[in-house]
Structure 1
Amino acid sequence: MSRSDEVRGLVGEVKAQIGILGGFVGLMWALEILDLFLGGALDQFGIRPRSLIGLRGVLFAPFLHGNLLHLIANTVPFLILGWLVMLRRTSDFWPVTLIVMLVSGLGTWLFASPFTIHIGASGLVFGYLGFLLSRGYFERSFGSILMSLMVGILYGGMIWGVLPTRIGISWQGHLFGFIGGIIAAWMLAKPRSSRSY
């Protein structure tokens, strides 16, 4: 492969990453702006613990937010940690996101307080954090360990969000998102013989 082919491949990867992350964030922002006009009516599609209809929130909740401040607070870490998930392989983003959505959503549905509604992308954010922190442990390659250490230094303080420290914050979504990220790291760990970063 020539140098120009490598550059074109890299440019194509970056464009794909920008498109994926931009698409996710664009959908979140479009839905929140629509929700402002609807007076918060879309929030009913969040996770409603132990309610059959509330299971739909497993898929919808990450794209819905309580207000613009809630969305802004999730947008930046979603973009940064989501991109770090893609750094080795863009294709890692999809299984990690799916696993985290399912584990975070179902864990919240099973264990959160009844008669509550849980929305927001923070379950995904904590899932990406869990994935990035634990990938070094499961893969034990220099690059993955270095990435885990870097993410730990930059974002390790977020870990306290998995504890029930603030009323109105879905710590269950954070906790099960983080667990989902660890499960994804375990499931996607490359065999020792084929590891590289």
Structure 2
Amino acid sequence: MNIGNGLRTILSFAAVMIVVQVVNSLTANSLLSHGLVPRTVSGLQGIFFSPFLHGSVRHLLSNLLPFVVLSWLVATEGLQRYIRVAVLVVVLGGLMVWVVGRPVIHVGASGLIFGLWAYLLARGWYQRSLASFAIALVTLLGYSGLVFGFVPVPGVSIESHLCGALAGIVTAWLMHSRRLLEKGPAS
């Protein structure tokens, strides 16, 4: 992978989050209406918009560094792989939150962060290469505190955390399961 292209793309996504938060702050959080609202037709747009929306500057700041670091670790497989992983995690995780989430507005990049985190850990299991184990170990040591994100806290979308992590595991399985890779196409 061209590290510069991957990092530029990741930093561009982070910049979009910052710009969206500035606009949201200047408009009295008017953009939050585009968040994910479970089991509503209008809430479906939130599957794609919610990772870029945050409830406050503090919320955004708590998500930026883990988003950039975990994105970069996934992007070590290449920019195209990173884009596929991020899209699958956002769509699968978002759909799961839409189906099982509490009927409130869910916003923030934490579902994507938990998905990237779980993907990196599961990728180590499925790939079973020294590089993927090393990255999984760095991920586990650097972000082991994310496990506390599975503990319910008022005002926090535990559904996004759980569904994002599950989406990350499913994404790793889809992309790296040896059984799938060895079987090849059906004849």
State the Cα RMSD in Å.
1.7
Aligned partner (choices 13, 31, 36) of residue 20 of structure 2 = 31
Query: How many Å separate the matches in 2 of 1:29 and 1:125?
Result: 16
**Contact 1:163–1:175 under 8 Å retained in 2:** no
User: Gapped runs of 5+ residues in structure 1?
Assistant: 1-9
Q: Alpha-carbon deviations, 1:97-154, whole Å to 9, x = none?
A: 011101221111111112x100000111001100111101111112111211221111
| 5+ long unaligned stretches in structure 2 | 183-187
Q: Tell me, in whole angstroms, the C-alpha distance in 2 between the residues paired with 1:102 and 1:162.
A: 20
**Aligned pair 1:181/2:158, yes or no?**
no
Question: Is 2:36–2:105's contact at 8 Å kept on the other side of the alignment?
Answer: yes
Q: Kindly provide the amino acid, as one letter, of the partner of residue 153 in structure 1.
A: L
Q: Which residue of 2 aligns with 1:170?
A: 157
2:3 matched residue in structure 1:
14
User: Is structure 2 residue 124 aligned with structure 1 residue 124?
Assistant: no
* Counterparts of 1:95 and 1:190, CA distance in 2: 16
Q: Within 2, Cα distance between the matches of 1:150 and 1:76?
A: 15
Q: Distance in 2 between matches of 1:123 and 1:160?
A: 14
* Structure 1 position 76, deviation (Å): 0.4
Distance 1:150 1:15 in 2: 21
Distance in structure 2 (CA, Å) of the matches to 1:190 and 1:169: 32
- 2:160 & 2:70 partners in 1: Cα distance? 17
Aligned equivalent of 1:160? 148
State whether residues 6 and 78 of structure 2, in contact with CA within 8 Å, keep that contact through their aligned partners in structure 1: no
What is the percentage of aligned positions where both structures have the same residue? 34
SS of the equivalent of 2:77 reads: coil
In structure 2, what is the Cα distance between the partners aligned to 1:157 and 1:25?
22
Name the counterpart of 1:58. 47
Greater CA radius of gyration, 1 or 2?
Answer: 1
Q: Which residue of 2 aligns with 1:68?
A: 57
TM-score normalised by length of structure 2: 0.91
